[in-house]
Amino acid sequence: MKEDLFEDVAGTVTDKEPNALMQVINNEHVEPQTGLQIKESFMPFFDQAEELKAKALTIKVTDIGQKAEMLEARTIRLKLKDIRVNADKTRKDLKEDSLRYGKAVQGVYNIIEYLIIPIEKHLQEQEKFAEVQESKRQAEVKEKRIAELDQVSEFVPMGINLATMTDDDYVKLLNGAMLQYKAKLDAEAKEELERIQRIEAEEIESKRVIAENEKLKAEREAQEKAMAAEREKAEKERIAAEQKAAKERAAQEAIIKAEREAKEKLENEIKANAEQERKDKEQAAKIENDRLIALAQEEEKKKSAPDKIKLLALADLIDFLEIPNVLSENALLITRHTKDKLTQLASIIREQANKL
């Protein structure tokens, strides 16, 4: 695959002949003198790159021991980089003259860049060959060591670079971790043995405690019989105290019940009075509404009644609308808001009617 890349780079560079520079310049239709100036400005870079091309493409590193070839690849690559950088500087200076001039300069530079960059890439691959191989080796070493340390990973310090560690240091690390792992297993085995011994001792102690408890149980039963009379006396006293407290509690509850019933009766009376007041207002409103309807019907009979009179009558009708009597706080807020809006509406109607 590296041989194919080598051939592609060589073929790409060979295609870029000097007359290609003039072709780009001519395509932009610049003045002959300007075109000549562009050619003269960039031709040295082109010639320098061509001189380094053949030598550069003969360098091919296949072994990390080819130190001289890698150094030579770096030297030529840096020279080509200098040519490209200087060509780019010339491009920037020449492009300041005019847009068309700048396009021609850019086109010529593109040819040089196209010539140099593949060679630079090739040389850099040759230059870094040893580094790439070393990176691969380190990755393989790291993967292998991670697998070996998997069982004892908890005893491996954090932040250690397994890829770059020497074999001696790694062996010390592995042995140390294995020793710690064995110590852990020994400690767990010792702990298990102690646990079994502890269980056996607990069983022995449990049997002793059971025997002791039987003895204590017999003594406790004897004590309980002696204390039975005292408990019976205390129970009678407790019952008597509870009965007395129950009587006092019943009397207190009767007082509370009487107060609650009196309060409920008062609230019911207030509600009944409010309901009656609402009905009275509704009846008065109905009578007034009937009166207004009669007046409206009488006014309707008048064929040429003025609009002003009609509007004022509407305002009076709004003023006499009955607002229902409500008890909850939210409902009271709604009825007050409605009454205010109706009053404002009636006032607006009268104000506008008086202007007619």
Interval 42-78: pLDDT, tens: 888 888 888 898 888 899 989 889 999 999 999 999 9
Q: Where in the sequence is the domain holding 21, given as residue range(s)?
A: 2-127
The burial of 128, by beta-carbon neighbours within 10 Å (0-12 exposed, 13-18 middle, 19 or more buried), is given as middle
> What is the pLDDT at residue 299?
63
- Answer whether 352's CB lies under 8 Å from 311's CB: yes
Q: Is residue 187 in a domain?
A: no
pLDDT, residue 5, reads 33
Taking the CA of residue 238 as centre, how many other CA atoms within 13 Å lie in the half-sphere pointing to its CB?
6
Residue after which a domain boundary falls, among 127, 150, 183: 127
Q: At CB < 8 A and 24+ separation, what contacts does 124-130 make?
A: 124/73, 124/77, 125/2, 126/59, 126/60, 126/61, 126/69, 126/70, 126/73, 127/61, 127/70, 127/73, 127/74, 127/77, 129/61, 129/62, 129/64, 129/66, 129/70, 130/61, 130/64, 130/67, 130/70
Cα–Cα distance, 25 to 36 (Å, whole number) = 9
pLDDT given for residue 207 in this prediction: 86
The vertex-296 CA angle with 293 and 301, nearest 5°, equals: 130
Report the distance separating Cα 115 and Cα 4, nearest Å. Answer: 18
One-letter amino acid at 140 equals E
Considering only CA atoms, give the Rg of the chain.
55
Which position has the token pair 């002696």? 226
Specify the pLDDT at position 81. Answer: 94
Which residue, 179, 201, 231, 24, is CA-closest to 114? Answer: 24
b/e string for 231-242 if b means 16 or more Cβ within 10 A? eeeeeeeeeeee
Express the helix, strand and coil content of the chain in percent, nearest 5 each: 85, 0, 15
Closest C-alpha among 40, 43, 35, 20 to residue 103: 35
User: What's the confidence (pLDDT) of residue 97?
Assistant: 64
**297 occurs within a structural domain:** yes
Determine, yes or no, domain membership for 239.
Answer: no
Is 169 part of a structural domain of the chain? no
- Asked whether residue 39 is assigned to any structural domain, the reply reads yes
Domain count for the chain: 2
Question: Which residues 6+ apart lie within 8 Å of 5 measured at CB?
Answer: 122
pLDDT at 101: 67
Q: Supply the pLDDT for residue 77.
A: 92
The answer to whether the beta carbons of residues 108 and 37 sit under 8 Å apart is no
**pLDDT less than 70: residues of the chain:** 1-21, 97-102, 296, 298-305
Question: CA angle, corner 53, sides to 72 and 57, nearest 5?
Answer: 60
Predicted confidence at residue 78, as pLDDT, reads 93
Which of 63, 92, 127 is the last residue before a domain boundary? Answer: 127
- Give domain status of residue 254, yes or no: yes
CB 289 within 8 A of CB 313: no
Residue 132 placed within a domain: no
Last residue of a domain, one of 96, 127, 158: 127
Number of neighbours of residue 254 by Cβ within 10 angstroms: 10
Amino acid at 65: G
Does residue 43 form part of some domain?
yes
